[in-house]
Amino acid sequence: MSPDLRVSFAGVEFANPIMTASGCCGYGEELAKVYPLSKLGALVTKSVTLKPRLGHPPPRTAETASGMLNAIGLANVGIDCFITDKIPFLEKQKTRVIVNVAGSSLNEYVEVCGRLSDIARVDMIELNISCPNVDEGGMEFGADPVMTEKLVAAVKKVFPRPVIAKLSPNVTSIATIAAAAEQGGADALAVINSLVGTAIDVETWRPRLTYNKGGLTGAAIKPVALAMVNAVHEKCRLPIIGIGGISNGSDAVEFFLCGATAVQVGTALFIEPDVPVRMLGELKAYLKRKKLSSIGELTGKVRKY
Amino acid sequence: MSPDLRVSFAGVEFANPIMTASGCCGYGEELAKVYPLSKLGALVTKSVTLKPRLGHPPPRTAETASGMLNAIGLANVGIDCFITDKIPFLEKQKTRVIVNVAGSSLNEYVEVCGRLSDIARVDMIELNISCPNVDEGGMEFGADPVMTEKLVAAVKKVFPRPVIAKLSPNVTSIATIAAAAEQGGADALAVINSLVGTAIDVETWRPRLTYNKGGLTGAAIKPVALAMVNAVHEKCRLPIIGIGGISNGSDAVEFFLCGATAVQVGTALFIEPDVPVRMLGELKAYLKRKKLSSIGELTGKVRKY
Amino acid sequence: MTRPSCQDTLLIKKRDLKNNYFSATFRTYSRVDQCRPGQFVHIQIPSAEIYFRRAMSIAGVSSRRREIEVIFKVVGRGTRQLGNLHEKDRVNLLGPLGVPFRWPRKSETAVIVAGGVGFPPLLYLASEMVKRGHDPRRIEFFYGGRSSADLIERSRIRKLGVRFHPVTEDGSVGEKGLVTGPVEEFVRRAPNRHLRLYGCGPEGMLKATNELGVRLKVPGQISLEAPMPCGIGICLGCVVPLVGGGHARVCWDGPVFEIGEVAL
Amino acid sequence: MTRPSCQDTLLIKKRDLKNNYFSATFRTYSRVDQCRPGQFVHIQIPSAEIYFRRAMSIAGVSSRRREIEVIFKVVGRGTRQLGNLHEKDRVNLLGPLGVPFRWPRKSETAVIVAGGVGFPPLLYLASEMVKRGHDPRRIEFFYGGRSSADLIERSRIRKLGVRFHPVTEDGSVGEKGLVTGPVEEFVRRAPNRHLRLYGCGPEGMLKATNELGVRLKVPGQISLEAPMPCGIGICLGCVVPLVGGGHARVCWDGPVFEIGEVAL
Ligand SMILES: Cc1cc2nc3c(=O)[nH]c(=O)nc-3n(C[C@H](O)[C@H](O)[C@H](O)COP(=O)(O)OP(=O)(O)OC[C@H]3O[C@@H](n4cnc5c(N)ncnc54)[C@H](O)[C@@H]3O)c2cc1C
Ligand SMILES: Cc1cc2nc3c(=O)[nH]c(=O)nc-3n(C[C@H](O)[C@H](O)[C@H](O)COP(=O)(O)OP(=O)(O)OC[C@H]3O[C@@H](n4cnc5c(N)ncnc54)[C@H](O)[C@@H]3O)c2cc1C
Ligand SMILES: Cc1cc2nc3c(=O)[nH]c(=O)nc-3n(C[C@H](O)[C@H](O)[C@H](O)COP(=O)(O)O)c2cc1C
Ligand SMILES: Cc1cc2nc3c(=O)[nH]c(=O)nc-3n(C[C@H](O)[C@H](O)[C@H](O)COP(=O)(O)O)c2cc1C
Ligand code: FES
Ligand code: FES
């Protein structure tokens, strides 16, 4: 008997717990050329904003030790084009679709989420209240519990299906922000977005990113992400989607043990686009070897000293 | 003409800007067997507390992608033994000595610093208000601007020479804490201590550290450290000692450009104990190639977009 | 359509081409038959310092032996590591990626402008053209560099029977000067104007070729470079501004672009 | 006193000893003359996944050729990478590190208890004893493992002329059972008790050897293992609790400890 990889939370069932992280899989079109998206538990779109955005000028990525910096700056097609051009493609994909939404004001978030409310293909919304790469909105929301609660509550009023709050690691207490999101009515939490970082070119004395700083992601941040998932899990009962430096089945298991119900893979897709497919096999083999019948038997089961 | 590597801040001159970071060079005895400590700008001791501490039981370190986790738990000989056993050795070393002090209460910090006040060999004190690996004190101080200011002010009253506040990266705004330390009378800032992180053994479901979490250090955190040095430099006029993932001359130059006056090397010593010696050569060659006469010509000179 | 895939291959031949250039041939690559000139593979480099793959144009394939060749120059950490690989080392390739060059019509003369690490894809292009029956005398291969040492693998071009025009800044081989000088001269003098430009090389050369094409109204394509985290269009890291506004991804919308399309 | 140093060496010989064991010989190591049995080198492994060095006991040195040998078993990521190295690869060694074994007196019989990756330092110890004139018949070399395949390099021990006692759990070579059985038997039967134990091997074997030494009052030393971030006493990561209280660093205060000293 093959182990069951299905997970469900906020009333939605997913074929498996592996999702592609926002900003690391566009709107799915490119990855669909590498493997069918039905392999994914869910696809999380690039952050969508009210107006289209070009993002920051290049260079807007830089390689770091076991990781990378990015300051893409929420480049995206905007909600209108997203609905007319991207939704039709997503309609045909046999995977859950989570639309990540960003904005520079509460009203902008509400407007975008409202536009998505009657598109049934959008299974969930993920609120990006943690983007380090824009001057307005972004991380500001996610660093303030009051604003976090208000924003989530406002979005919950206009979007009838589950809402995930995606939290920033750049805070003194992520558990406090998590509690605020719960208070506001969030159905789940995504932990974590990228860490603020930078790198300088010592020849030109220029930052390696035109935005002067960016978000650090990839294997380098996995320990931080795990500790934050664990901290949130200890203080908050919402289901958690673990994110940060995941690149194989064993990494995912670490996140499950720390309290995650599902995981997202971001930067690792850049190095190995079919990493989710490999991970599915690794997870199955792991459950089998450990004689477990489902992912749920791992969630939060870390044996603390 | 060879470029001048000397730097000075808080009225103290250092032969060069490269120091060994607290907890990564003991009290200097072991490194002195590899090369003369006169090669160092300064040696920063392991954190000293009032009473001796065994630290946490092993395992208390774990390898991560381009970095490591540690939860040593401030293992140290205690201030009495430090003064009787370690100071005599340090008296003989031709380098600056900075004693890192930790405590679980304001009184403990003050008592330890008071004991060091008339030992002239102690050129400076570095206050560890950012240790993630103890239940009391440690990071609590460094996360709260009011406590930070109070603590620095109290120590300044009992210790007549310069006091460095070593800041935690695990905060929403490191610039706010830096300002509080400045307000309290700190003479310089050390940026950063380690990031909270963890790792789990997927075979045993145990954390890889008996303390369940630890501090992430090494190359992985360099981008975060650079961004924090930069953020502090923008908001605060105190000299900054840059720390985090430095392992070569070029890394140090990045920190200088972001605003550091000196740097500390920690985890890199574990991989290459004589990394400071190599870095001195690299820095000299860099200054020469760039036709600069001193490190000061780099500090804060990043050319932002 | 090509479906890119990640696959482990075996480095079976490494040749030192001098002046920091190397040729590396990998076996067994299952997608050789889908490769087209102008496309690239994204190479994973096993090393402590390298996190991203590195993009390398396809320089040639052997369908029969399922081999794929890249020619690279050591310029930084990643390519240094690549140059240190041993024969029989396992190397993961992601590809084939990117939009290939468009073929010239039989009646057209291909004017190839190559330089530096832009040479490998154009070597592949010229080889394939000849193989597919394009008259070699209708292929003008301009190859520029600082000095004769920069012009690698000249014998392979000569063997194709194409019209070969080496150009060096120091005159150590071929005409003296920048390659775009003789190219412009040729274009201006061309009796009929059924020309098609193909350019790949350092930034200055690309700019000049693009500008020349626009100015003299010669159609054609140029192939760009940009640091590429993903190589498959999902990170938005490799963008270039377009003349008509907006950004294009070099890896997915390119690396081959029409002359006049990109704001260089 | 030895002054440890980091230095680049050349892997000049790699031998597959089967069952995942390899021998690797590095040249030119300037500190060969300062190496003592029981000491180790900390090896830097060029790989994306490996951050710390890996500790390997010195298995032998050749002063004349300035060569140093380690014998290792592939058990995880680091040792797998080490096993993948090619001859002529450059490898950085930090060493020699740690407290060596103390020599037995001429009149004493060395009772060596080896197992698994604890074998290499004891091979070196026995070789050096013989070289320095210790009567080989006063060296009792017990070597335990699950099966004959676990007992590598037996011919090298035999060549030393020492009294060799292989012991395997499945009886495929030597006596059948755990090595500490025959060791205890020997110790009990020894006519005069001028014995000195030397133990290195898996945890169970070490514990049994330590316990045996304490119980039967045989002096001697055991060599421990612990994950070692630094190897030179500065990180405090490799500590073990001492019987008398407090912690000792395996890398700096050990890896060789007196029997009865460590709380195993
Ligand atoms: C589609 C494409 C095809 C290519 N084909 C070839 C080829 O056939 N042969 C070949 O030798 N090279 C080719 N390159 C360039 C090659 O990818 C870079 O030289 C390589 O990535 C440099 O890596 P590195 O680690 O050695 O250098 P790094 O240490 O990363 O950088 C060294 C210098 O090169 C710059 N750089 C890094 N990557 C790139 C890049 N992709 N484009 C431009 N500059 C860069 C850096 O900013 C730095 O100044 C191609 C690039 C692209 C995008
Ligand atoms: C002083 C000393 C001398 C040694 N001499 C030899 C030798 O001569 N030959 C030899 O083959 N090995 C020797 N070892 C052990 C060797 O260092 C480890 O096998 C190696 O570090 C494992 O690295 P890895 O990356 O392959 O395994 P990892 O992937 O890091 O780990 C694999 C498993 O081994 C455990 N482990 C990792 N490092 C150590 C360690 N240092 N000690 C104990 N367990 C560990 C891990 O917890 C894990 O369970 C010695 C260790 C020490 C401390
Ligand atoms: C290039 C890039 C672009 C990203 N864009 C977004 C985005 O638009 N919205 C968002 O919520 N997160 C974005 N992220 C963050 C990722 O979704 C994820 O939280 C982060 O990368 C950590 O996961 P990883 O280490 O697996 O990449 C982006 C990350 C990268 C690397
Ligand atoms: C094993 C270990 C022990 C440490 N102990 C201390 C300590 O006692 N006091 C302190 O202020 N910082 C301590 N640190 C933090 C370092 O001083 C430094 O701030 C941090 O490691 C980041 O620098 P790095 O990346 O160069 O290691 C310790 C770090 C490590 C790795
Ligand atoms: S390299 Fe990622 S989009 Fe082009
Ligand atoms: S390994 Fe660092 S103290 Fe022993």
Tens of pLDDT, residues C214-238:
999 999 999 999 999 999 999 999 9
Residue B20's closest chain D neighbor by CA? D234
Q: Among B186, B256, B237, which residue's Cα sits nearest to residue B17?
A: B256
Q: Is B143 on the interface with A (CB under 8 A)?
A: yes
Measured between its terminal Cα atoms, the distance across chain C in Å is 29
Summarize pLDDT for A39-96 with one digit per residue, the tens. Answer: 999 999 999 999 999 999 999 999 999 999 999 999 999 999 999 999 999 999 999 9
Same-domain check for residues C122 and C69: no
Burial C140-157 (b: 16+ CB within 10 A, else e): bbbbbbeebebbbbbeeb
Give mean pLDDT, residues C54-69.
94
Length, in residues, of chain A: 305
Q: Choose the catalytic residue: B24, B25, B131, B236.
A: B131
Strands D256-258 and D220-223: what pairing? antiparallel
Reported ipTM: the value is: 0.95
Taken in order C11, C17, C18, C19, is the CA torsion positive or negative?
negative
Mutate to test the interface with C, among D86, D89, D90, D91 (most CBs of C within 10 A): D86
**Do residue D78 and residue D113 come from a single domain?**
no
CATH of the domain at D125: 3.40.50.80
- Give the pLDDT confidence of C100-113 residue by residue, as tens digits: 999 999 899 999 99
- A258 labelled catalytic: no
Query: Among partner residues B195, B205, B221, which is closest to A302 by beta-carbon distance?
Result: B205
Within an 8 Å CB–CB cutoff, is residue A82 touching chain B?
A: no
Residues D90 and D205 in one domain: no
Is there a single domain that holds both residue D27 and residue D69? yes
pLDDT for res D239: 97
C264 belongs to a structural domain: no
Long-range CB contact pairs, D189-197, < 8 A, 24+: D190/D109, D193/D218, D194/D105, D194/D107, D194/D108, D194/D109, D195/D108, D195/D109, D195/D111, D195/D219, D195/D220, D196/D104, D196/D105, D196/D108, D196/D109, D196/D110, D196/D111, D196/D220, D197/D111, D197/D113, D197/D221, D197/D222, D197/D259
Task: Give tens-digit pLDDT for D236-255.
Answer: 999 999 999 999 999 999 99
The verdict on residue C102 lying in a domain is no
Predicted local confidence at residue D2, as pLDDT: 65
> Which residue positions in chain B have pLDDT lower than 50?
none
Q: Is residue D251 domain-resident?
A: yes
Q: What is the distance in A from the centroid of ligand 5 to the CA of A31? A: 12
**Same-domain status, C202 and C238:** yes
> D253 CA to middle of ligand 6, Å?
10
Write the pLDDT tens digit of every residue in A204-260.
999 999 999 999 999 999 999 999 999 999 999 999 999 999 999 999 999 999 999
Dihedral of CA D77/D79/D84/D89: which sign? Answer: positive
Q: Inform me whether the C-beta atom of residue C47 falls under 8 Å from chain D C-beta atoms.
A: yes
Judged against a pLDDT cut of 80, whether residue C177 lies above it is answered with: yes
Out of C34, C68, C97, a domain closes at: C97
pLDDT digits (tens, 9 = 90+) for C106-138: 899 999 999 999 999 999 999 999 999 999 999
Q: C-alpha angle C4/C8/C10, rounded to 5°? A: 125
Contact A165, A190 (CB under 8 A): yes
- Residue B102: what pLDDT? 95
**Residue nearest atom 2 in ligand 4 by C-alpha distance:** B23
Q: Which residues of D touch B274 (CB under 8 A)?
A: 5-6
The reported pTM is 0.96
* Final residue of a structural domain among D63, D97, D131: D97
User: DSSP per residue over C216-257, as a string?
Assistant: HT--EEEE-----SSSSSSS--SEEEBTTSSEEETTTT-BEE
The answer to whether the CB of A253 falls within 8 A of the CB of A259 is no
d(CA A210, CA A215): 13
Evaluate whether residue C40 is within a structural domain. yes
Q: Are residues C211 and C169 in the same domain?
A: yes
Which tokens is A147 given? 């604003």
Give the pLDDT score at B218. 97
- For the segment D186-202, the average pLDDT, to the nearest whole number, is 90
Provide the 3-class DSSP secondary structure of residue A66. Answer: coil
Please give the pLDDT value at position A1. Answer: 61
Whether C226 lines ligand 1, by a CB cut-off of 6 Å, is: yes
Could you read off the pLDDT of D132-162 as tens digits, one per residue? 999 999 999 999 999 999 999 999 999 999 9
Q: Is the pLDDT of residue D108 over 90?
A: yes
* For residues D80-94, average pLDDT: 92
Residue D48 predicted with pLDDT over 90: no
**Nearest ligand, CA B68:** 4
pLDDT at site D1: 53
Task: Report whether pLDDT(C193) > 90.
Answer: no
Q: Are residues D49 and D178 in the same domain?
A: no
Could you give the CA distance from residue B214 to residue B202 in angstroms, rounded to a whole number?
Answer: 18
Domain that holds residue D161: 109-258
The type of residue at B83 is: I
Average pLDDT rounded to a whole number, residues C65-88? 93
pLDDT of residue C213: 94
CB within 8 Å of chain B, chain D residues 210-249: 226-227, 229-241, 246-247
Paired sense of beta strands D195-200 and D220-223, if any: parallel
- Is A7-54+74-198+217-297 in CATH node 3.40.1050.10? no
Measured from the CB, is residue D39 less than 6 Å from ligand 2? no
Measure the CA–CA gap between A286 and A283, rounded to whole angstroms.
5
Integer-rounded Cα Rg, in Å, for chain D is 18
Q: Which of A24, A25, A131, A236 is catalytic?
A: A131
> What digits encode the pLDDT tens for the residues C132-175?
999 999 999 999 999 999 999 999 999 999 999 999 999 999 99
CA torsion, points B101, B104, B110, B112, in degrees to nearest 10? -50
Whole-number average pLDDT of chain A: 96
**For ligand 1, is residue C253 a contact (CB within 6 Å)?**
no
Q: What is the spatial distance between Cα A272 and Cα A251, in angstroms, rounded to a whole number?
A: 15
What 3-state class would DSSP assign to D211? Answer: helix
With tokens 């609120």, the residue in question is A127
For the four alpha carbons of C151, C152, C157 and C158, in that order, the dihedral sign comes to positive
The total domain count for chain C is: 2
Tokens coding C85: 């690989």
Q: So what's the pLDDT on residue C49?
A: 78
Cα of C239 vs centre of ligand 5, distance in Å, is 7
The CATH code of the domain that includes C75 is 2.40.30.10
Q: Is A74 in the pocket of ligand 3 (CB under 6 A)?
A: yes
Domain final residue pick, C73, C97, C121: C97
Taking CA–CA distances from D45, the nearest residue in chain C reads: C48
Q: Are residues D155 and D88 in the same domain?
A: no
Q: What is the mean pLDDT of residues A175-183?
A: 96
Residue A292 confidence (pLDDT) above 70: yes
Same domain? For C93 and C136 the reply is no
Q: For residue B148, what pLDDT is reported?
A: 94
**D25 three-state secondary structure:** strand
Residues D113 and D243 in one domain: yes
Domain ranges of chain B: 7-54+74-198+217-297
Instruction: Supply the residue whose CA is at minimum distance from atom 26 of ligand 4.
Output: B266
Q: Which helix (H) or strand (E) holds A241?
A: strand A240-243
- Same-domain check for residues C60 and C90: yes
Q: How far is ligand 3, taken at its centre, from the CA of residue D36, in Å?
A: 52
Provide the pLDDT for residue D224: 97
- Cβ of C237 within 8 Å of Cβ of A24? The answer is no
* Interaxial angle between packed helices B275-289 and B249-258, expressed in degrees from 0 to 180 and rounded to the nearest 10: 60
User: Of all protein residues, whose CA lies closest to atom 33 belonging to ligand 1?
Assistant: C76
Residue A133 has pLDDT above 80, yes or no: no
